[in-house]
Amino acid sequence: MTISPNWRSENKHLQILEAAEKGKYGVIAAIAYNIEQIIGLVDAAKKARSPLILQFFPWAITFGDGILIKTAAEAVRNCDVPISIHLDHAQNEELIKKAMQLPFDSIMVDMSHYEKEENLAKTARLVKLCHERGIATEAEPGRIEGGEDGVMDTEGLEGSKTTPEEAEEFVATGVDALAPAFGNVHGEYGKIGPQLDFARLSQLRKVLNGRVRLALHGTNGFMPELMKQCIAAGMNKINVNRLVLDDYYEHLYATVEKVPHTTLMEQGVQQVVDLTVSWMNICGSAGQA
């Protein structure tokens, strides 16, 4: 397989993130678990005239032999707004090789469960493998606490904030986007709420100086103001999970015994559309496509 030397400018995911950096807005990168959510997220992007990143956990590669990911590719094929497909937290080489057989525009090479030297070496090798196939990459320098839906928890390994040195070391692996650890947490924040270190984030942004795009992980329970603050601080890719799906599940649990299944699905799609459009407005991506 020969890949064009300027594959970067042709990669949809990188095009979306470049435009976000230039336009100073954040692009929602939403996890989808089923077909209603895929349809709802894509419809939200069309309705808001917004770019979008459709994300999957590695679970979706084995579930139904990747049918959700293939369906997502089908759903975005004739879309007139830019939508890329990304694999979140791919934590081993075997999985990344499987993912390359699927229509991903970007893969998160997450080796953060290894100690740093091994993490860096593995990241560099796997980033190269992805790039040779025209696939963009993301990595996590430092260690974001917590785990979610099949993504390995950093058991026994303490979360640690990304240092400027680590950021440099990861840029050297050739990775396209970084997900810094600056007090953000995977899963739930608990009573005290998010305690983000914006001083650290601004220090990292200064050091990185536009060489890579920044991805925000761990946004469950974020308020609009905090989200806007993160985007103003340079976050381009905004990973969301419950933030755009909460209304869908609330509707599902409240309605499952009351309406026909087809109606349940249609109403569920609408719940995803409405909540996602509201976050596209908050992140400033609405109207940018």
Pick the closer one to Zn ion by CB: 18 or 149. 149
Q: Are 270 and 50 in contact (CB under 8 A)?
A: no
Q: Closer to Zn ion at the Cβ: 122 or 217?
A: 217
Least distance in Å: CB of 54 to Zn ion?
A: 15
| Under 8 Å between Cβ of 151 and 89 | yes
8-state DSSP, 13: H
Asked whether residue 140 is marked as a ligand-binding residue, the answer is yes
Helix (H, G, I), strand (E, B) or coil at 145: strand
Least Å distance, CB 217 to Zn ion, is 3
Active site residue 88: yes
Residues lying near Zn ion in the complex (CB under 5 A) are found at 217
Is the distance from CB of 100 to CB of 130 less than 8 angstroms? yes
* Environment class of 155 (CB within 10 Å of its CB; exposed 0-12, middle 13-18, buried 19+): exposed
Dist. CA 261–CA 233, nearest whole Å? 43
Nearer to Zn ion (CB atom), residue 217 or residue 237: 217
DSSP state of 289: -
One of 43, 88, 176, 247 is an active-site residue; which one?
A: 88
Residue nearest to Zn ion according to CB distances in the complex: 217
* Residues 183, 141 contacting (CB under 8 angstroms): no
CB of 11 to Zn ion, least distance (A): 21
250 is in an annotated binding site: no
On whether 217 is known to bind a ligand per the annotation, the reply is yes
CA distance 28 to 240: 7
Element (H, E) at 84: strand 83-90
Tell me the closest approach of the beta carbon of residue 37 to Zn ion, in angstroms: 18
On whether the CB atoms of residues 65 and 91 are closer than 8 A, the answer is no
Which residues are part of the catalytic machinery?
88
